[in-house]
Amino acid sequence: MVILAGGLSRRFGEDKCLKKLAGKPLVAHVLNRVSAVSDEKLIVVSSGAQRSVLSPLLEPDATIVIDKYEGHSPLVGALTGFEAVQAECALLLPCDAAFVSAEIAALLLDLCKSKSAAIPRWPNGYIEPLQAAYNVTHASEAARAALKEGKRDMLAMVAHLHGIRYVSTLVLQQYDEKLTTFLNINTVADWKKAESMLAKRQRQNH
pLDDT of residue 134: 98
pLDDT of residue 204: 64
Neighbours of 125 (CB within 10 A): 7
pLDDT per 10-residue tile (average), the chain, 206 residues: 75 62 84 90 89 84 86 88 95 92 96 97 97 97 95 94 97 95 85 78 64
Phi first, then psi, for residue 3 (nearest 5°) are: -110, 125
pLDDT of residue 12: 46
Phi first, then psi, for residue 180 (nearest 5°) are: -70, -10
Q: What's the CATH code of the domain at 138?
A: 3.90.550.10
pLDDT of residue 77: 93
Domains contained in the chain, number: 1
- Residue-number span of the structural domain to which 195 is assigned: 2-204
pLDDT of residue 111: 97
pLDDT of residue 53: 84
Distances 197 to 3, 26, 96, 169, 202 between C-alpha atoms, Å:
22, 14, 14, 21, 9
Q: Does residue 42 contact residue 3 with C-beta atoms inside 8 Å?
A: yes
Q: How many angstroms separate the CA atoms of 167 and 161, rounded?
A: 16
Distances 176 to 17, 49, 75, 200 between C-alpha atoms, Å:
23, 36, 27, 17
Global confidence as pTM: 0.89
Residues 6+ apart with CB under 8 A from 151: 75
